[in-house]
Structure 1
Amino acid sequence: RRLVDENEATSDLATKAAIKAIENANLTPEDIDLIIVATITPDMVFPSTACLVQANINATKAAGFDLEAACSGFIY
């Protein structure tokens, strides 16, 4: 089991994961076309968590949206 800091949001976790994925793939944020966040715990209703991640990683060419379908959201 893992716990997050009281002040850490879903977008913070997703941003860390995105940075790690980009580094592991030897890409840059400019290479990213689309950011999809599958979650049932968004930071807020609007803007989407994906848009927050897009801004956090400076993926200026990427579109983004959240997929909120409970547990089944992770298989899409």
Structure 2
Amino acid sequence: MRAGSVLSVRTPDGDRQTRITLFAGRPLGEPVVAGGPFVMNPCAEIEQAFRDFHAGKFGQAPRAAGLNTR
């Protein structure tokens, strides 16, 4: 088995339902920068994404869009 090919998951109390989203793909072969909800390259793009977001350039999300309030 290759290193990094196993994912172990444990729920907080062992009985609660847990949802997992796993994304996988081919390696990019370049540095990746993550900041908040943004993943880009290089860091300057993350900073620009935050400026654009705060300036309202991403539009508005509907109030109930994907919000799980449970």
TM-score (norm 1): 0.23
Q: Does 1 or 2 have the higher relative contact order (CA < 8 Å, sep 6+)?
A: 1
Structure with the larger strand share: 1
Which of 1 and 2 has greater Rg?
2
